[in-house]
Amino acid sequence: GSNLPEVRSTCAYCGVGCGVLLRPDGAGGLTVRGDPDHPANFGRLCSKGTALGETVGLDHRLLAPRAFGRDLGWDDALQLVADRFRETIAAHGPDSVAFYVSGQLLTEDYYVANKLMKGFIGSANIDTNSRLCMASTVAGHKRAFGTDTVPGTYEDLDQADLVVLVGSNLAWCHPVLYQRVLAARQARGTRIVVIDPRRTASCDQADLHLALNPGSDVALFNGLLTEIHRRGAVDPDFVKQTSGLEAALETAGNDQISETGLPAEKRAAFFDLWINTPRVVTVFSQGVNQSSSGTDKVNAILNCHLATGRIGRPGMGPFSVTGQPNAMGGREVGGLANTLACHLDIENADHRAAVQAYWQSPAIPQSSGLKAVDMFRAVEDGQIKALWIIHTNPAVTMPEAGRVTRAIAACPFTVVSDLTLHTDTARLADVVLPAAGWAEKNGTVTNSDRTISRQRAVLQPPGQARPDWDILAEVGRRMGWKTAFDYASPAEIFREYAAMSQIAARFGKDLDISGFSDIDEAGYAELEPTRWPLGRKRAGGRFFGDGHFFHSDRKARIVPVGHRRPAALPGQQYPFVMNTGRTRDQWHTMTRTGLSARLSAHLAEPFVDIHPQDAAREGISSADLVEVTSRIGRGIFRARITQDVRIGHVFAPIHWTAETAPSGRVDMLVPGTTDPISGQPESKATPVSISVM
Ligand code: SF4
């Protein structure tokens, strides 16, 4: 190693938000180890975090702005972007432009993007790839609590006696949290239940695996709620802080538990464990969120915790784990088309007025903007005429990816900010802006348990690459808003955001980081991992110690929800249900993990898992190339025959792109069906057919 000092930062991958210690080698490289003092991981890292140093090479990097196929100076590029956005807005109105951003953005980047679109352009057409990740959780939290609060913390996992993983392969997708659960199992015998149609690595240590029918989570948790009530396990004191239990029980009573497809003894074993174990944390992730009934699934889970008062207390609570490094920070500063910063509501006139006054801005949208799937459809039909995509690859990752690709290609003006030209989306752009990468920029991220941590720059951005907040602010200034976007550093943006959270506190919201309103550059440089709300601790049985929730009556809602099957069901033409997800060592479209030979060795090509009985019936042998076809697209995958998937089900990972495997892109097959409340796509239940090539 070099003699350069280690710098504390945060892992660039998942929402666990592990602390890392980075030591630059002086030649553009890095060594990485876990930060023993970070409260998310206490020194642990998973395979992806450990290999971060292998992903900072410059081979694929974009070094200068490009427009219409040639290099351009920053001055011309920024002016071009500002002019085209301004002209488009002048001719067609603010809703003719859109930003599609990403959970890869730091909180300060996100804050500036959101302020520019909502406060100054005056449209709410900013959405983020978090829409594909946890929008259903945001909607479920808001319905239940009146605000998008994650009530759980990582310590709850250490202190739980039962951890229920619903639609979460925690062992692969949040490995360090899974290690914490296993450590708790070692220390206190914590039981683990996995609820997932598929057998995953998370089942290896589980006491019980419920391989339920896809999309039947509401029926299962409604069954649990009914049983909680029948056995007298409702907490009468806590329920006084809620409303809706009677109605929720009535609706739950109409559901058929047989919809889950689970044998009675397995259901009973789960109900017994859950009801008899006060310290229960129900962890949920994409299997819950990525569904046409995702929001209802979230509320079905929250309902059981609210009815029993098992929430906001040590070792108890519903707990959403997020996919991206800063999905939470994006939620907090209002990066979704239907939110304002600091958990304020776009639909609330008082909130809008307060935010507009704080920003001293010329405009504020009166209602929600276009959510991701609708946004790209609006690009397709010509309503959106200028689009800026930042650190995400929708030509691969959106459902109906073929349609999205064609829409982006046909958009009159598309800007992409990214580290590389080599993404399916960057190739379609008119203007490509070189952004600084992880390890090259300063800012903050928030992890799944509300802990804000610093990312710190330890390497020089290559070529002309610049941080996103800086690019966005410069475009804002060139569009005519000089003072509002006159930022000299990310610390200045963080201060502005922190001070803004006073407004949220004034409206009784919980997102309060106003203690950071006067943080100076040195304080920001040294900022320790800090969980919000600052300075408040929860007391026994009380939500955040205040004893109230965030609806106007200060009560939580137990929301009546009924089971709905997935929007499309298998039939004669498409007899299988395709589930999608991750592999252990890859991340999104492999733009970063693909640079590590170590990581790419594990499962190197697109594959589809199929049950032995289905394979035999279809004449498929192990390692055959098979064509998988849905109503909207087709792909070619290597068959893996495994009992991990159920009969009638197949599973395919999401990572491959036009560059890495042109025929193996699963989102070409997934239709753009969404949850009616959250707008999150149903990514895990696509009817398909399969045939040997
Ligand atoms: Fe990074 Fe997540 Fe692995 Fe932690 S668990 S090292 S945050 S990828």
CB atoms within 10 A of CB 427: 16
- Rounded to an integer, the average pLDDT of 338-364 is 93
Comparing 28 with 458, the larger pLDDT belongs to 458
Pocket flag, ligand 1, residue 176 (CB < 6 Å): yes
Pocket flag, ligand 1, residue 17 (CB < 6 Å): yes
Cα of 46 to ligand 1 centre, how many Å?
Answer: 6
Cα of 392 to ligand 1 centre, how many Å?
Answer: 19
Instruction: Check pLDDT > 60 for residue 602.
Output: no
Q: Using most ligand atoms within 8 A of CB, pick from 174, 283, 324, 326 the residue to mutate for ligand 1.
A: 174
- Rounded to an integer, the average pLDDT of 410-417 is 98
Instruction: Check pLDDT > 90 for residue 601.
Output: no
Alpha-carbon distance of 44 to 346, in angstroms, equals 39
Pocket flag, ligand 1, residue 22 (CB < 6 Å): no
Cα of 328 to ligand 1 centre, how many Å?
Answer: 15
Q: Which atom of ligand 1 is nearest to the CA of 40?
A: 4
Q: Which atom of ligand 1 is nearest to the CA of 47?
A: 3
Q: Which atom of ligand 1 is nearest to the CA of 14?
A: 2
Instruction: Check pLDDT > 70 for residue 544.
Output: no
Nearest CA to ligand 1 atom 4: 18
Cα of 62 to ligand 1 centre, how many Å?
Answer: 26
Q: Which two tokens stand for residue 266?
A: 């397995």
Find out whether 49 and 18 touch, Cβ atoms under 8 Å.
yes
Question: 469-490 as b/e, with b when 16 or more CB fall inside 10 Å?
Answer: bbbbbbbbbbbebeebbebeeb
Cα of 235 to ligand 1 centre, how many Å?
Answer: 37
Identify the pLDDT of residue 149.
86
Cα of 426 to ligand 1 centre, how many Å?
Answer: 26
Question: Quick one: what percent of the chain has pLDDT higher than 90?
Answer: 78
Identify the pLDDT of residue 547.
66
Over the stretch 510-533, which tens digit does the pLDDT of each residue have? 888 999 999 999 999 999 999 887
Alpha-carbon distance of 9 to 521, in angstroms, equals 17
Pocket flag, ligand 1, residue 49 (CB < 6 Å): yes
Pocket flag, ligand 1, residue 175 (CB < 6 Å): yes
Cα of 505 to ligand 1 centre, how many Å?
Answer: 32
Nearest CA to ligand 1 atom 3: 46
Nearest CA to ligand 1 atom 1: 49
Cα of 41 to ligand 1 centre, how many Å?
Answer: 9
Alpha-carbon distance of 267 to 291, in angstroms, equals 22
Over the stretch 206-249, which tens digit does the pLDDT of each residue have? 999 999 999 999 999 999 999 999 999 999 999 999 999 999 99
Pocket flag, ligand 1, residue 53 (CB < 6 Å): no
Comparing 479 with 539, the larger pLDDT belongs to 479
Identify the pLDDT of residue 599.
58
Q: Using most ligand atoms within 8 A of CB, pick from 20, 45, 587 the residue to mutate for ligand 1.
A: 45
**What residue spans of 93-153 are helical by DSSP H?**
107-114, 135-145
Q: Which atom of ligand 1 is nearest to the CA of 41?
A: 4
Alpha-carbon distance of 341 to 356, in angstroms, equals 11
Q: pLDDT band for 548, please (50, 70, 90 cuts).
A: confident
Pocket flag, ligand 1, residue 16 (CB < 6 Å): yes
Q: Which atom of ligand 1 is nearest to the CA of 587?
A: 8
Pocket flag, ligand 1, residue 18 (CB < 6 Å): yes
Q: Which two tokens stand for residue 398?
A: 């959106």
Q: pLDDT band for 500, please (50, 70, 90 cuts).
A: very high
374 Cα distance to chain centroid? 18
Instruction: Check pLDDT > 60 for residue 537.
Output: no
Cα of 484 to ligand 1 centre, how many Å?
Answer: 35
Q: Which atom of ligand 1 is nearest to the CA of 17?
A: 7
Instruction: Check pLDDT > 80 for residue 574.
Output: yes
Alpha-carbon distance of 336 to 338, in angstroms, equals 5
Cα of 194 to ligand 1 centre, how many Å?
Answer: 21
Lowest-confidence segment of 140-154, 250-264, 331-345, 647-661 by average pLDDT: 647-661
ipTM given for this complex: 1.00
Find out whether 570 and 643 touch, Cβ atoms under 8 Å.
no
- Rounded to an integer, the average pLDDT of 250-265 is 96
Instruction: Check pLDDT > 50 for residue 545.
Output: no
Q: Which two tokens stand for residue 215?
A: 């999309």
Find out whether 9 and 454 touch, Cβ atoms under 8 Å.
yes
- Rounded to an integer, the average pLDDT of 488-493 is 98
Over the stretch 5-45, which tens digit does the pLDDT of each residue have? 999 999 988 899 999 999 999 888 899 999 999 999 999 99
Pocket flag, ligand 1, residue 14 (CB < 6 Å): yes
3-state secondary structure of 556: strand
Cα of 439 to ligand 1 centre, how many Å?
Answer: 15
Cα of 172 to ligand 1 centre, how many Å?
Answer: 10
Q: pLDDT band for 589, please (50, 70, 90 cuts).
A: low
Q: Which atom of ligand 1 is nearest to the CA of 16?
A: 7
Cα of 11 to ligand 1 centre, how many Å?
Answer: 6
Whats the size of the chain, residue-wise?
693
The domains located in the chain, with CATH, are 7-55 (2.20.25.90), 66-133+335-489 (3.40.50.740), 135-321 (3.40.228.10), 576-692 (2.40.40.20)
Type of residue numbered 483 = T
Q: Is the dihedral of CA 274, 275, 279, 284 positive or negative?
A: positive
Identify the pLDDT of residue 20.
97
Cα of 455 to ligand 1 centre, how many Å?
Answer: 14
Pocket flag, ligand 1, residue 34 (CB < 6 Å): no
Q: Which atom of ligand 1 is nearest to the CA of 13?
A: 8
Pocket flag, ligand 1, residue 46 (CB < 6 Å): yes
- Rounded to an integer, the average pLDDT of 118-122 is 97
Cα of 228 to ligand 1 centre, how many Å?
Answer: 36
Tell me the sheet residues that pair with 413.
386
Instruction: Check pLDDT > 70 for residue 194.
Output: yes
Cα of 320 to ligand 1 centre, how many Å?
Answer: 16
Nearest CA to ligand 1 atom 2: 14
- Rounded to an integer, the average pLDDT of 428-440 is 96
Q: Which atom of ligand 1 is nearest to the CA of 20?
A: 6
Find out whether 369 and 127 touch, Cβ atoms under 8 Å.
yes
Pocket flag, ligand 1, residue 11 (CB < 6 Å): yes
Q: Give the pairing of strands 451-455 and 208-210.
A: unpaired
Cα of 31 to ligand 1 centre, how many Å?
Answer: 16
Identify the pLDDT of residue 509.
83
366 class by beta-carbon count within 10 Å (0-12 exposed, 13-18 middle, 19+ buried): exposed
Identify the pLDDT of residue 546.
58
Pocket flag, ligand 1, residue 13 (CB < 6 Å): yes
Identify the pLDDT of residue 543.
53
Identify the pLDDT of residue 542.
47
Secondary structure percentages of the chain, helix, strand, coil, to 5:
35, 20, 45
Pocket flag, ligand 1, residue 48 (CB < 6 Å): yes
Cα of 16 to ligand 1 centre, how many Å?
Answer: 6
Instruction: Check pLDDT > 80 for residue 155.
Output: yes
Over the stretch 131-152, which tens digit does the pLDDT of each residue have? 988 999 999 999 999 988 888 8
Q: Which atom of ligand 1 is nearest to the CA of 46?
A: 3
Between the CA of residue 471 and those of 44, 105, 491, what are the distances in Å? 34, 12, 16
Comparing 585 with 165, the larger pLDDT belongs to 165
Lowest-confidence segment of 189-193, 342-346, 614-618 by average pLDDT: 342-346
Mean pLDDT score of the chain, rounded to an integer?
92
Instruction: Check pLDDT > 90 for residue 250.
Output: yes
Angle at 661 between CA 658 and CA 663, to 5 degrees: 80
Instruction: Check pLDDT > 50 for residue 467.
Output: yes
Identify the pLDDT of residue 539.
46
CB atoms within 10 A of CB 368: 17
Over the stretch 271-325, which tens digit does the pLDDT of each residue have? 999 999 999 999 999 999 999 999 999 999 999 999 999 998 899 999 999 877 7
Find out whether 60 and 601 touch, Cβ atoms under 8 Å.
no
